[in-house]
Amino acid sequence: MSEIYQMAGHLIRRLQQISVSIFTEHMRDAGYDLTPVQFAALSAIEANPEVDQVTLAGLIAYDPVTLSGVIDRLQKKGLVSRAVSPRDRRARVIALTPRGEKLLAACKPVVWALQDDILSGLDDAERSTFLSLLDKAASAGNAQSRAPLRPRDAG
């Protein structure tokens, strides 16, 4: 059994669990009801106003069908709005509401502050190296993902 403790997949899953736990605790302590994927969606919407749901899913590397439920919850919270796309009547564009803009601005410092807690066992140089290696591994495996990252400029 101890061999799994040295396997990349197991360690990545564990770090994801830790990351979500730390995120949830910090957000709750700050008085916010927001999940990591909700924060990612709000951040991507802010950077890409009036983005459609499929494009948004690619921007945060999330399954479009699952993202629909995330957007539903954000809309119910009054943080985003949906409207018919002016370019494609079949598509809906998503935008932050003033309430969503205010919440995102308030949450960003909390989210940046909790990053150190996620990697608390590493010094600054190790964090930098680790993040660089994570980015390299994620980029190399992106095409194998069920929900690949698709930056807007990549088409």
- Whole-model pTM: value is 0.91
Token pair 């680790």: residue: 130
Report the run of H or E that residue 141 belongs to, with start and end.
Answer: helix 124-141
- Dihedral sign for Cα atoms in the order 20, 16, 62, 58: positive
Structure tokens, 146: 């069920």
Q: Count Cβ neighbours within 10 Å for each residue of 94-105 and write b for 16 or more, e otherwise.
A: bbbeeebeebbe
Q: Could you read off the pLDDT tens digit of each residue along the chain, which spans 155 residues? A: 689 999 999 999 999 999 999 999 999 999 999 999 999 999 999 999 889 999 999 999 999 999 999 999 999 999 999 998 888 878 889 999 999 999 999 999 999 999 999 999 999 999 999 999 999 999 999 999 999 999 876 44
Q: Structural domain boundaries of the chain?
A: 8-142
CATH of 8-142, one of 3.30.70.580, 1.10.540.10, 3.30.70.3190, 1.10.10.10: 1.10.10.10
The model's pLDDT over 49-81, given as tens digits with 9 standing for 90+, comes to: 889 999 999 999 999 999 999 999 999 999 999
Q: Are residues 92 and 53 in contact, defined by beta-carbon separation less than 8 angstroms?
A: yes
